[in-house]
Amino acid sequence: MPARWRKLDAASKNETGALWPAGHGALVTHYGSTVLIRRAEWRESWEVALATIASQKMRAFLTTLGVVIGVGSVIVVAAIIDGLNRHISDRLQEIGSKTFFITRFQLFTFDFERLPEEIRLRRHLRADDAAAIREACPSVDKASPILTRWVVIGIGQGNEIRYGNNQVEEPILRGGEPVLTEVIPAYTVGQGRFFTEDENTHAAAVTVLGAPIADNLFGPVDPLGHIVRINGRPFQVVGIFEPHQGLFGGPGADQFVLIPYKTFAKMYPEIEELVIAVTAREVDLIPKAQEEVAEVLRRRRHVPAHKPNDFELSSADLLTDLWAQLTNAIVILTLIIASIGLLVGGIGVMNIMLVSVTERTAEIGVRKAVGARRSDIRAQFLLEAVTLTGVGGFLGVSAGVAVSLSIAAFFPDLPARVSPFWTAAGLLLSLAVGLFFGIYPAVKAANLDPVNCLRYE
């Protein structure tokens, strides 16, 4: 046995002068003046703590209710956000991990009147800009110009598509080149095909429809090969997109009617707001591809060297950053609510432990009289406080997991995934609350005079 360990016989004194209970040996180790309580004493203290809580179940539950609410709310919100993060990440992959967009204004800009005049007067992008990018940018794989006709906050004209007596109002009409399905994977054709280069060159009257649009127009009838009327003009249906609902509540393939780019430009020459979708050859080449695109466009648009770009380059990172800002605000709000719950729960624990100290004053006196040290009393009450909040944390985690699983089961559109990190963090936080708010009652109990305690009635 190492020299630093020492077995104390029954009724002998340790270096602090305290007596161990008769009939019990004590294995202790000294680090300076600190004496570590043996495992048997911790187990006994744990059993006493559980017995005390069990004897006052309702009081214990009400005391820890704040901890239950705080921890439970953290688990539920963390599960929803974690599920949504995975959902958003998967949906962004559908846009294309190698894809970025060139626009005249920054994406998600709606209040044009507040833009500086220099930005509002920017020239429109053109289809031959996309062709120049394909030819002059070695890091670029594909580029497609996109034209769109839709109603945005009362601006622009609506669309209508008909088949017989059935009609769909306000679909989004879009014109693109045949490579669009490769540039934006969300435009995946489920039935039929996309239009060809020859059809685009000759401005053919062919169209590819979103799945819900086709269902509303044709029902059980196979739509391929049938003629629909888009804003009064006949088009042959050559393909149907795979279902895609969009991102952040925005439009997806389900809401689109696509026609060849040159067909669109011929039908609506007044629409000049053009977007160019570009894919890099590899994901890690996106920064280089954007530099090459910016250089080509600055040269074509005669932008002076000292002037900033008169166009915008945006990738899926913009949507990721937008989502991160939104979720960060939600996380902060949830942590504030949880902190209030934990604070209330902690104050309740401290209050109930102070009441417990008063109720058990005589017991404390007896324990000190038979040799219990201050550290024993402190440990006893601290363990009870930690046990109390630990039980509250366990109930909070259980409730949070149950609610999260219920959300995932009953609301598939609101993905929820229980986070192991936040589950562990909730439990640890509840234990920390018990430790912090149990210190004062434990110290007060340990400092009680044994003589006065024995006289207490």
pLDDT tens column, 307-350: 888 888 887 666 666 666 667 777 787 778 777 877 888 888 88
* pLDDT the model gives residue 7: 39
* pLDDT the model gives residue 262: 94
Q: Which two tokens stand for residue 360?
A: 């058990």
* pLDDT the model gives residue 390: 86
pLDDT above 70 for 290:
yes
Sequence-ordered alpha helix ranges (H) in 221-370: 261-267, 286-300, 316-359, 361-369
Place of tokens 């509002």: 120
Least confident stretch, 7-21, 179-193, 336-350, 365-379:
7-21
Least confident stretch, 17-26, 47-56, 94-103, 370-379:
17-26
Q: Which amino acid is at 83?
A: G
Least confident stretch, 241-245, 257-261, 291-295, 412-416:
412-416
pLDDT tens column, 62-103: 777 878 888 888 888 888 877 777 776 666 665 656 888 898
Q: What is the spatial distance between Cα 256 and Cα 274, in angstroms, rounded to a whole number?
A: 16
- Contacts of residue 361, defined as CB under 8 A and 6 or more positions apart, other chains included, come to 448, 453, 456
pLDDT tens column, 21-43: 433 434 444 443 344 445 666 67
* pLDDT the model gives residue 1: 37
CA count, 13 A, side-chain hemisphere, 233? 14
Q: What is the spatial distance between Cα 136 and Cα 257, in angstroms, rounded to a whole number?
A: 31
* pLDDT the model gives residue 195: 93
pLDDT above 50 for 9:
no
Q: What is the spatial distance between Cα 235 and Cα 252, in angstroms, rounded to a whole number?
A: 21
Cα distances from 388 to residues 359, 431, 434, in angstroms, run 17, 9, 7
Q: Quick check: 382 and 439 in contact, CB under 8 A?
A: yes
| Range with the largest mean pLDDT of 139-153, 223-237, 317-331, 381-395 | 223-237
Average confidence score pLDDT of the chain: 79
State the DSSP code for 152.
B
Least Cα distance to 275 among 404, 176, 379 occurs for 176
* pLDDT the model gives residue 231: 93
* pLDDT the model gives residue 252: 75
* pLDDT the model gives residue 250: 55
* pLDDT the model gives residue 95: 60
pLDDT above 50 for 5:
no
Least Cα distance to 258 among 199, 312, 198 occurs for 199
Cα distances from 455 to residues 10, 186, 365, 437, 448, in angstroms, run 28, 80, 9, 28, 12
Q: Quick check: 84 and 413 in contact, CB under 8 A?
A: no
